[in-house]
Amino acid sequence: MITRRFLESMAMAIIGDSVLCIVSPQRHTGLWLSGPRWWRETWKPFVQNPNLTRLLGVLGLGFGLWLAWRQEPDMEEIEEEIAPRRTRRQAEAMR
């Protein structure tokens, strides 16, 4: 379950970053233009080519959604998570 939660969190981060790349590519990638020269040079093509950044954002969005959908628990897992809560509620109701 922890692995699924971690992957779900990663999917949310990827989806959010991708949406920002699609909506405002130059502003979003421009925020990363500080630091060592090699780092700035790495990000410069993305700032200068907003359509490339948008394309990568669309691909990232697709990947993030795919990753999130893969984390959907099956009914047995949901029932295992809910069962202890029902038991506690039933025990409290019996008191």
- Please say whether the beta carbons of 30 and 45 come within 8 A: no
Output the pTM of the full model: 0.71
Confidence band (pLDDT; 50, 70, 90) for 28? very high
- Residue range 64-84, pLDDT digits in tens: 999 999 987 766 666 666 666
Give the tens place of pLDDT for each residue, 32-71.
899 999 999 999 999 999 999 999 999 999 999 999 999 8
Residue burial 31-57, b: 16+ Cβ < 10 Å; e: rest? eeeeeeeeeeeebeebbeebeebbebb
